[in-house]
Amino acid sequence: MAKTTEKKNIRHLSLSELEEYFGSIGDKKFRAKQAYEWIWQKHAHSFEEMTNLSKELRQRLADDFSFPALKVDATQYSADGTVKSRFRTSDNHMVEGVLIPTDERKTACVSSQIGCSLSCKFCATGYMDRKRNLDYDEIYDEVVLINQQSQRVYEKNLSNIVFMGMGEPLLNYKNVLKAIERITSPDGLGMSPRRITVSTAGVAKMIRQLGDDKVKFKLALSLHAANDKKRNEIMPINESNSIAALVEALNYFYKQTGNEITFEYILFRDFNDSKQDADELVKLYRQVPADLVNIIEYNPIEQALFSKPEEDVVELFMQHLEKNKVNARLRRSRGKDIDAACGQLANKE
């Protein structure tokens, strides 16, 4: 579907470009700063909200520019306090984001694409087509809207952001980095990049690019199998980005940035939950300066035949990692009752 208008999105203008525009219409330079503050700090989602600009000027802006913004289309509240939102884009696509609360943290799980092209076998989004990338201002909107929910429901600002929603962030590289630049900028949300984690299914070339760009945020690799044969079965991307290539890329990333690396590993019954699987994970962990391995319980989806292991199997797996000095944490899923847990986002009605 085509975007609703051909007018330039005002949020895609830099401050200096806004100054140039206001000069070109014979207005004062400081108007640019006022408009910029409304867009990025006061989180206006329309020209009408820019109340310290005259009505005539707001109309002129509306004539000259578009202001496409995400809107909350539906909200679901889980029994465990998790809040899932379905956002509607200006061109009528849907994308989901999740607020995950704990006592210590309020985390936004945000999406980077509408749908996904990677077809991971255990993930609901992987069974959808990728419609398009989200623009950086749309990703920013997700964070702003989830932060407003956190303030309303928990009276706390977001403490963390994870790019673990719909889509592969590193296949929307420029928009994700630009969104993070806006989120961390003092004239944006002013959040520390150390509180942001970008999760990837494993695009080796782009992991290296993150290193070259000296990013300051954390990186998580969705691993889910520690050998190529098994990983190929559940994650087709592994066929062109082998574990050896990812190990090399992650070491390069760490050498360039020193940033924290996490492995994400979902346990699937009778697939990757044996002692041999744990041994392979230990071996891989020792090849990369990873800070942590998140062991995640599987959340069933209609399209896949996987199920989660019995508790005693999970316990043995964790014990084996611990015995081998792997810093591992078992992550219990949140929001399962509203399909908001890891791997469940699919724009369900």
Give the angle subtended at the CA of 111 by the CAs of 141 and 273, to the nearest 5°.
150
The catalytic residue among 109, 120, 123, 342 is 342
What is the DSSP track for 57-76?
HHHHHHHHEE----EEEEEE
Report whether 163 contacts 197 (CB < 8 A): yes
> CA-based Rg of the chain, rounded to a whole angstrom?
21
Q: Is 265 helix (H, G, I), strand (E, B) or coil?
A: strand
The catalytic residue among 19, 96, 142, 264 is 96
Cα gap 96→116, rounded to integer Å: 13
Give alpha helix (H) positions in 95-212.
136-154, 173-184, 204-212
Active site residue 116: no
Active site residue 342: yes
Q: Is 7 helix (H, G, I), strand (E, B) or coil?
A: coil
65-66 and 8-9: which strand pairing? parallel
261-267 and 218-222: which strand pairing? parallel
Q: Is 114 helix (H, G, I), strand (E, B) or coil?
A: strand
Q: Is 159 helix (H, G, I), strand (E, B) or coil?
A: coil
196-200 and 218-222: which strand pairing? parallel
Q: Which residues are known catalytic residues? A: 96, 342
